[in-house]
Structure 1
Amino acid sequence: MKKIYFLIALMISFTSYGQDMVITGAFDGPLPGGTPKLVEIYVINDIADLSTFGLGSANNGGGTDGQELTFTGSATAGDFIYAAYEGAGGSANPGSTNAYFGITPDYIDGALSINGDDAIELFSGGAVIDTFGTIDCDPNASGTTCPEWEHTDGWAYRNNSTGPDGSTFVLGSWSFSGPNAVDGCTTNAGCASVFPIGTFTYGGTPCGISLGAATYDCGGEGQIGDNNDAVTINIPYTGVDDTVVVSLTSGGTLGGSDPAVDTDGTISITDLMEGDAWGIEILTGNCTGTSLSGTVPADECDPEPNTCVDISGEDLFESVTVTPNTDMDEWTYSGGTYTMNGYCGGGCVESVETWLILGPLDISSITSDLTLAFTAAESFGDTDLLVNYTTTYPGCPSDATWTTLQTINPLTPDSSPFDVEVDLFAIDASEIFIGIQYVDDGVDGYSGWSLSNVAINAFGDCAVLGQQAPSSCVTCELVLGEDTVTCDDNTENVDTYTATLAFTGGGNDAYQIQTNPMVSNTGDDPSSVASGIMEFQGIPEGTDIIINIVDQGGVCNLERTITSPTCNPPLNCPNPGDIIITEIMYDPDAVGDSVGEFFEVYNATGAAIDMIGWVISDLGSNSFEVEGSVSVAANSYAIFAKNGDSGANGGITADYVFGSGMSLSNSDDEIILSCDGTVIDQVNYGSINGFPDPTGASIEFNAAFLRNNTDNDDGSNWAPATVPYGAGDLGTPGAANTLSNDSFDVDSFKVYPNPNATGILNIATSNNQKLQIAVFDLLGKQVINQTIANNRLNVSQLQGGIYVLKITQGSNTVSKKLIIE
């Protein structure tokens, strides 16, 4: 029988689409939430099926994340494809791409949530065909060695007729606006720095041919065995291109159609065997670099086997449970498929062992290949399957001596089915039993498995299935249920607690209960009652209790570890606003985010406040509990840091280290201080809320604006720090903020008109000393620095917006919000 199979993707390296599209632009927007973020793709050749192409981003030099967005539909040469990000959650800004550019993007996807220092990869058939930026290097990191392609709040655009460049970024193929070039802009047409959207042109000649999927031709039915049959590889193509020359990159003989002459033909490679590698490459012309390669499977031409035993239809496995769990999970059969999942509910960690048994199987007459074949699918990835055999089966799997033939692991990360073949021919026995074992202690979770198309196959004489005798296993009937813990007292000292453990299936045997530490069961006894609750008292706080239960016959051997509770005294919570957030460092530059992030809190009362037991979180999944004492003195600060080593974290002295419990986003995020369920303070920072967005500087709350506990919700009351600390980043961790009002009364001067539309700002003070004036925008950039003696400041050069006005007179300094209309 002639056998022709399409190759699976794992066996092919295919780059014939390498010149079909190219990344031509990247834009980091100025609208709320840092939107829109846009990537432009130019289509070089007609593409009938875009589903083989897609995009991925590589953030902060962290390396590839692979393909994250897959295109759909088709495209024509000369088309532009636009993929955008318009924010999410509290920072969502839908329609921002249309508002800024007047276009509707083809795709809006979270994969495009990128900043001006992030890289972009363009994929075809899973391979990278073009790259913008260096995926494993951050141009903003301290000591960076990668090219300076950073374009935060700006854009980058490819030079005409360059690229695609594969996986290597070519800096010279791009033009850049520079950072902050579009700050303050609301439309592309009205911006001083115009993103040249849709202007790229490609002057090259596109490749005139497209290679298709290769097939194998065995020329008829082959022989049983590996690597022993001749194979011809046939590679179809469409189109014609008189500039191309096709060459072999492997052994064999090149033949068939010539794509330089013949339109829509088939290239062939002959004189190859099963197991041989093969490949072609176009060396010259418009299609240079296009290639296709693969390896012929070792058994490609083997004849189809006979089905000796159909285990998914006529003759079925027997399901046998050795160790049941609470849910009594076991292998079940329905419609040709066997399924098993040991998951017994949230928080449930129990041992489970269940088998599929087949036999006796007479293999004495087998003279050629014999296999157990099935299609498997697995989810959750924690439980391997063991395919075993034994020559003697006493009636229960736990009483047999098994030899493992194969361990089945999941082969695909997406739970898709895969085929399994287990060789039985090499077994030196005349009669065997087959057992597929599912066993797990549940510590790392459980897998869900399904097996279908299960059969015993042979190329010659068949194995014969004998009469199966029902299995009989003595199983442990005692089942452990829910456990609980209760503190006996709640003090600052080491308290004791009581643990309980429910059970069912008791009253049918004598059980011995052992615990570590040694405490007695003062509750129900599983030796005498069918169901109940065991109770263990006086366990020291901080010590987990391990409970082991065995029966006289050795069938039951159950163990449960119960975790100690924390028996803290009740929280003494202050009023909302007594502790406020005053400084946030979410994007350090001198050190990495993973070690340099911190935030500062301030005690606005006249008495110390201990934050032990408080929960600090965001609106997402980040959350941690303050487990030790953090006493914040009256009118003083405390620092919560990602890392406690001042030599590694940029020079911060931390009062509390939150580690992996929280990460501060570089875009929009929240910090919420809660005590016993009451929110004491919350700051939702991010550009969408008017907060500044610096790199290498913290953002600081200006205490001059403090009138009540909600004033730090207003982004205009925050400014970038300007004072260096430690390794060189800017901030004042644990000290008064850069723009704080520590020197004289805010009411000792008047600034008018404010808001200001006249271009002249009047500043009245109680004395006639000269005034040193500094004005900062919300990115921390100083835009005015003057000394005035006439109490009048010219602000006509400032664009409309919110600024911080810093006034120094003698040794006194004060800051105030300034609004320019």
Structure 2
Amino acid sequence: MKKLYFLALTFMIGFASFGQNPIITSIVDGDCSGGNPKLLEIYANGTVDFADYSLENQTNANVTWGNAQDLSSFGEVTNDFVYISISSSTDAIATEFPSLASAPVLITNTMSVNGDDRVRIILTASTTVIDQYGVDTVDGSGESWEYADSYAKRVNGTGPDSSFNAANWTFGGAGALNGLGTCQGGADTFETLIGGVGTYTITQNTEPAINILSPANGATLAPGTTTVNVEFTTNNLSGTETVNITVNGSTTNGVTSPFEITATDGESYDVTVDLVDGGILDSDTISFSVLSSNTVANIAALRAGASGEVYELTGEVLLTYQQSFRNQKFVEDATGAILIDDPSGVMSTAYNIADGITGIVGTLSEFGGTLQFTPIEDSAAASSTANALTPQAVTLAMLSANAENYESELVTITAVTMDNTEPTFVTGTEYELTQGQGAETFNFRTAFFSADYIGANVPTMVTDITGILTERSGNAYYITARDADDFSVAVLSVSQFDATSVVVYPNPTSTGFVNITSANNDAISVTVFDILGKSVINQTLTHDRLNVSALNSGIYILKISQNKASVTKKLVIK
């Protein structure tokens, strides 16, 4: 796609808006292992004292901003770029963005975002919004500005924008980096693929311009889509220009935005818009497709399908595990199991372990040897709840001989010994298992990032283990426990969790939220009780923030749980 630039303001108005402010100029959600690297680029226009500013995020369908990160570590910066990322992206940034080897990079969980999340820079003292990427309170899934496994770059000469202005950005389109980068064997780094870093300038373009806003380039639309509106914007016009649109070789002259296209399942569309005044002044081009779907009754039939095809799984499946990382879910039925990989958060309906889910629609694919199902639309509420989950009993010999037969299934192995050379559980680490006299071996891997046993002691006694069978590149298979309860012996935490290690603020609160933090980064579950003892909120925190806007003024009790330990705190809503 030719990247073209749209200017929302005239040169003089745009110039007048510039001051000594930070400007968000690029955002990246990579496709390396773990969805890395995450990267935010900020330009200091003039001399900017970052001690005055903070970064916040707003995730998924949440409507409140939080997880604020003070930016003072950047100090004063003049007409230069700074970068923000997360700790798990360090290696990927080194290989995929080599130009940043000596650049200032701040590591913070505030950038633990997916392609549907929003970020903004605020004045710390007043919370005044300086610049923002993404539409406030809107989940970006399917929006033109979605950057899942992709990127977006600010148009030269625009910003900062206190409310998001899509016209001031160029979008790679969701999935633009899928399977690419040197981390996945590609010849080009992400830095090359996105057109470089530190490329933004404050100089505006005054030439006539046209830009397609929707659909995104490379978009794949759901089966059953019969019409598609092509939305475009123009700028710097004299008043005599017209717009022509060409769809799959057929041209319509003198069109306005939006222009409706009749669509058919299974078809692809190439769209070009031309800004014309005697000759072509500017153009923009996108391609998109409408998927076709197949119907399967169970997971065995789904697993036998063709990669890249869309399927509707009509039968009910049971949820055996879920994690916030890439919104992943493991589901199974009597015929098999499969991983649901949902990095864009398309399945926004909330489910609990052991819920039944019916009618999942998605695309079948394979990554790192694992067959996965990526949803293209949200699913309905649970079709059943509190189902009995019965793990399949297997031996290490069975897993070693036919691990593929159990991929993504919930299984149980009995009387195994774990290698505890590494005495505690560390994320992304393998632990050898032996059974019997040690003749049979298999590997346990800590692949679930939010597991409550991370940091706990590895069992030194013989134990049964229930877990999910996972696969990584190279036909390497592992069993991974979902939580500490999946071990038959106690898994003891080495971290301290008591009333003094938990902080709740602001308290009292009139802001509609409270922040809850502890001495470690493990998952925190919170139950809120009213003065009658009725549970009014029960959820697991994702960014240390609890939304209490629905509660009336009064006194409540918080039960805060982490790593199988709990404390209680009083909460006052003003």
TM interval, shorter chain, is: 0.3 to 0.5
TM-score by length of structure 1 reads 0.26
Higher-RCO chain (CA-CA 8 Å, sequence separation at least 6): 2
Structure that is richer in helix per residue: 2
Q: Whose radius of gyration is greater, 1 or 2?
A: 1
TM-score by length of structure 2 reads 0.36
